[in-house]
Amino acid sequence: MADGIAYDVAIIGAGAAGIAAGRCLVEAGLRIVILEARDRIGGRSHTVATEAGPVDLGCEWLHSADRNPLTAIAQGFGLALDERLPDWGGRLRRLGASAAEEADWYRARDAFHDRLEEAGAAATEDAAASTLLSPGGKWNPLLDAISTWANGAELARVSIKDYAAYQDSGVNWRVRDGYGMLVARLGTGLPVALGNPVAQIDHRGRMIRVEAAQGTVEARAVLLTVPSTLVAAETIRFTPRLPDDKLAAANGIPLGLANKLFLALDGTPPDLPPNSHVLGARDRVATGSYELRPHGRPIVAAYFGGNLARELELAGPSAMASFAIDELVSIFGTGLRAQLRALASSAWHGDEFARGSYSHALPGHAGDRATLARPIGDRVFFAGEACIPGDFSTAHGAYRSGREAADAIIGALDRKRIKR
Ligand SMILES: Cc1cc2nc3c(=O)[nH]c(=O)nc-3n(C[C@H](O)[C@H](O)[C@H](O)COP(=O)(O)OP(=O)(O)OC[C@H]3O[C@@H](n4cnc5c(N)ncnc54)[C@H](O)[C@@H]3O)c2cc1C
């Protein structure tokens, strides 16, 4: 970041959206700077090294890998992909459910999804997805637990229309060395000023003034890619203030919470087959989903969502590990306790530059994504996973949103050049 330079575009945030936009704008020959609060790029894409191999504290699955633009990019970088599909369907069986119980669960799950799809398409008022549960249904806790992992929130806080709009091809792959590593690699070489939180954006004058910790930059256009929770909390002060409908939209699409815990596993217990999943419990919402020996590594990966994730994060990493180990021991026996120890965990709720994990719409707020994404005039643009219909809450959605915003910025700056 150099003082006195007038940039074409200042991008706020170097996550998947900011990086995608930055690459497009540089390719278009524009002079840009990316201002990033953290001392690393990637945002909610973050791979960390552990003694048992790399683990992703944020995004991990190349969801809809068969149409995910980051799949081809990973392949272009020569990165090894793990194309085994997750056996999320086997989670119940490994918990001891009979074939009949499993069939009953699939019937209940499919019926719920049919109701979701139908209500999503119907010309009726939006409502909470919990209203689609069958009253007293035996599998309601499991459907709600799945929502905590998928949406980061219980069904009572999730919009039917938005949940139904999510598009998933069912093909989920992984980058063996980490999705966060892939996103960071994509950002290599971009002009990013790290450790540089933006505090204010003044868009009254001909040039927009962006005040950050390391100084003020001026730019013809600004692209804001910070999470919706931070837009809603106005952690960056705008002059003039962001319009009411923009703030209301950001409030309507909060980030839910999902956290991960990685446990080191000593030995290779035969009842813990590699790349297999198990549920902590089938009859309560507050339970974890566990992957045993991901990529064959000596790890058990725990996933917590919604209220449980918040409670465990606030209780601290050792409480999170105790909860996971207790659930695993209740399934696999007490012998396992001595074979597990905490390696790494995430804490996205308390992360001041995210304040959550991924976005979901509150009931009645499915339309807010479009409002959040809409530019102010043709100078202040918005991108990020919360801004994209269909692929929201994902890294590829963030990537697509960043590229779309970059195209819009290029068009707007071109139009201005022609007018001059
Ligand atoms: C636990 C977990 C699991 C996930 N699993 C998956 C998965 O398997 N597959 C998948 O596709 N997605 C997954 N996701 C979601 C995915 O990680 C995100 O949707 C995506 O990374 C969001 O990218 P983004 O660019 O929109 O936002 P971010 O990555 O949050 O980028 C925004 C950037 O803005 C920066 N910033 C914030 N405030 C300021 C400021 N004032 N000044 C400057 N910079 C600022 C932040 O530091 C950050 O770098 C997961 C996320 C989590 C947390």
Q: Is the C-beta atom of 235 inside 6 A of ligand 1? A: yes
Strand partners, 53: 50
Q: Alpha-carbon distance 262 to 129, whole Å? A: 30
Tell which residue, 13, 9, 31, 21, has the closest CA to residue 401.
Answer: 21
| Superfamily covering domain 6-42+187-254+358-419 | FAD/NAD(P)-binding domain (3.50.50.60)
Q: Rounded to the nearest whole angstrom, what is the distance from the C-alpha of residue 358 to the centroid of ligand 1?
A: 7
Ligand 1 and 260: CB distance under 6 A = yes
**Percentage above 70 pLDDT, the chain:** 98
Q: Can you give the residue ranges of every domain in the chain?
A: 6-42+187-254+358-419, 86-169+258-345
**Cα-to-centroid distance, 154 and ligand 1 (Å):** 21
Q: How far apart are CA 176 and CA 295, in angstroms?
A: 7
Q: What is the pLDDT of residues 277-331, one digit of tens each?
A: 999 999 999 999 999 999 999 999 999 999 999 999 999 999 999 999 999 999 9
Cα-to-chain-centroid distance, residue 351: 13
pLDDT tens track for 195-229: 999 999 999 999 999 999 999 999 999 999 999 99
218 Cα: distance to centroid of ligand 1 (angstroms): 25
**Structure tokens that stand for 110 in this block:** 């499919």
pTM value surpassing 0.95: yes
Query: What are the Cα distances from residue 78, in Å, to 81, 121, 155, 182, 334?
Result: 9, 41, 40, 11, 42
> Considering only CA atoms, which residue is closest to atom 1 of ligand 1?
58
Cα(275) to ligand 1 centroid in Å equals: 25
**Over the stretch 225-276, which tens digit does the pLDDT of each residue have?**
999 999 999 999 999 999 999 999 999 999 999 999 999 999 888 889 999 9
Average pLDDT, the chain: 96
Element (H, E) at 49: strand 47-50
CB 198 within 8 A of CB 37: yes
- Which CATH number is correct for 86-169+258-345, 3.30.565.10, 1.10.3080.10, 3.40.50.1000, 3.90.660.10? 3.90.660.10
Closest CA to 223 of 2, 413, 4: 413
- Residue 233 CB coordination number (10 Å): 14
Q: Is the CB of 398 under 6 A from ligand 1?
A: yes
For position 361, what pLDDT does the model report? 98
